[in-house]
Structure 1
Amino acid sequence: MSERDGMSLLPASEVNTAPVVALGLVGGYLVARESGIRPLGGVLLAGCGALAGRSWLAKGGPAVVAPLAALYLGGFGASHPLAKKIGAWPSVAAVTALAAGAAFVASDRR
């Protein structure tokens, strides 16, 4: 682990990103819903996206980052219209399963 300002971070290549992606999508939705402050959920979404992106870059370079980041952000965007058809929680669960599953396959199991 590296020390920086009293905080330890795992090396980027050792972070499993599927749980980070799930936290960003599910947690971001939950924070926005429960707090009533949508940008606060966006902060969690962005922070998790940055952490996951750091690991994707270390593990697979830009060729891995681009599609996984597009899926992560696209899933967030797609969850809104999908929620109107199937409900909020099923929508969040569906896009989270897709994005986290892709992160596992493309990055974590390496």
Structure 2
Amino acid sequence: MARIPAAAVAASGLIGGYATARFTKKRPLGGVVLGVAGVVAARQWREVAGGKTAAALSAAYLGGFAGSHPLAKKVGAWPAVFGVAGGVGLASWALADRRGGVR
């Protein structure tokens, strides 16, 4: 069975977490979406690219989440979220998914 690329899972987690928090007005619920997607992506990264790469991509995922907040003050919330999601997705593709990790 084919799995969803980790890049798509990670990017969707960042976008979906923000969207959930914004539209439900329940930040903890957005955190759940963000967290679940992060765990799923991290498992795939570890399976495909190993522990060190998984740790680096997980740090990028969390850093993207944290970094989107100050970035949002300069460019707006949605552009910030899409920007960091794109960056994390690209890093995931380059370091894990591109290697043929999608089965």
TM-score by length of 2: 0.91
- Could you tell me which of 17, 22, 27 is aligned with 2:6? 17
How far, CA to CA, are the matches of 2:11 and 2:4 in structure 1? 14
Residue of structure 2 in register with 1:92 after alignment: 81
Consecutive unaligned residues in structure 1, runs of 5 or more: 2-9
Which amino acid in 2 is paired with 1:80?
Answer: H
**Following TM superposition, by how much is the alpha carbon of 1:75 offset from its aligned partner in structure 2, in angstroms?**
0.2
For CA contacts below 8 A with separation 6 or more, give which structure has more relative contact order: 2
Report the count of equivalent residues.
99
Q: Distance in 1 between matches of 2:76 and 2:63?
A: 18
The CA distance in 1 between the partners of 2:25 and 2:5, in whole Å, is 30
5+ residue gaps, structure 2: none
Which portions of structure 1, spanning 4 or more consecutive aligned residues, are displaced by more than 4 angstroms?
Answer: none
Partner Cα distance (1:16, 1:64) in 2? 15
The answer as to 2:91 corresponding to 1:102 is yes
1:34 corresponding residue in structure 2: 23
Taking only aligned residues, the RMSD between alpha carbons, in angstroms, comes to 1.2
Task: Quote how far apart the aligned CAs of 1:15 are.
Answer: 4.5
Normalised to the residue count of structure 1, the TM-score between the two structures is 0.86
- For the residue of structure 1 that corresponds to 2:96, the secondary structure is helix
Q: How does 1:37-52 map to 2 (within 5 A)?
A: 37-52=26-41
Which of 64, 77, 80 is residue 53 of structure 2 equivalent to?
64
